[in-house]
Every structure is written in C-alpha cells, then in structure tokens.
Amino acid sequence: MTGQADARLVVLSTAPDREVAAALAAMLVGERLAACVNLVGGVESIYRWDGEICTDTEVLMVLKTTESRLEALVDALNKAHPYDCPEIVALPVVGGSADYLNWISTSLAGPDNQD
C-alpha cells in the first residue's frame, strides 16, 4: 500500500500517569507504529468498571498513525499497557495539511515498513 492511499488515523488512549504515557509513546514512535504522540495531562475520566462508577486523573495520548499500522499499534499497546482493558479508539482523519499528512506516512516508513 502506498503512503498516499494509506488512510491517516488519530488514535486516542489514556494512561495512568505521565511516566507510563511517555514510555508507551516512546515505544510506539520508536517502533514506527505512531508518527507522533501528544500527551495531555490532567484528564479526568469518569467511567464504570466492575459495577462501580470510578473517577481517575489520567494522561490522554493522542497518536497519529496510518491504517496499515493500526493493527500492530493496537497489539503493541495492549501488550505494554498496564490497564486490563486500555482505551484504544481510532478515528479517521478526513482532511488537514497535506504536508503534515504526508509527514505521518513518511515517519512510519522504514526498513521494515515500506508504506
């Protein structure tokens, strides 16, 4: 699949703290599964878990990737994440700066990943 035909995605995931989020981000960028990860601290999450309503402060990770790298990204994140059921939600990018969108594909291409 060529970089032009490979859809760009934004993936959202949360981590329990900045240290965990930074380690996950470095791993995903290092493995060329994400071109960039923004860490947004101080996110308050309210959710139901094991029949209880929980409130936690987390770090939101905003990952930029491509459709062809999504499955590997999800697998890697599931394996490395400390949560039993980590949030991993992929959203399509429907437009934006052509230069930035091309940079995402270029950043993910490497010796083992020729998109």
In the chain, pLDDT over 70 holds for what percent of residues?
Answer: 91
Q: How confident is the model at residue 5 (pLDDT cuts 50, 70, 90)?
A: low
Q: How confident is the model at residue 110 (pLDDT cuts 50, 70, 90)?
A: confident
**Dmax of the chain from CA atoms?**
47
Residue 26's H or E segment, with its range, is helix 18-30
Average pLDDT over residues 24-33: 98
Residue 4 pLDDT exceeds 50: no
* Residue for token pair 């936690």: 56
Fold of 8-108: Alpha-Beta Plaits (3.30.70)
Q: In what order do the strands lie in the sheet with 52-66?
A: 36-49, 52-66, 8-15, 89-92
Nearest to 28 by CA among 60, 75, 67, 84: 75
Q: What is the pLDDT of residues 78-92, one digit of tens each?
A: 999 999 999 999 999
In the chain, pLDDT over 90 holds for what percent of residues?
Answer: 89
What are the structural domain ranges in the chain? 8-108
pTM above 0.85, yes or no: yes
Average pLDDT over residues 35-44: 98
Residue 77's H or E segment, with its range, is helix 67-80
* Mean pLDDT taken over the chain: 93
- Confirm if 58 and 47 have CB atoms less than 8 A apart: no
Average pLDDT over residues 26-53: 97
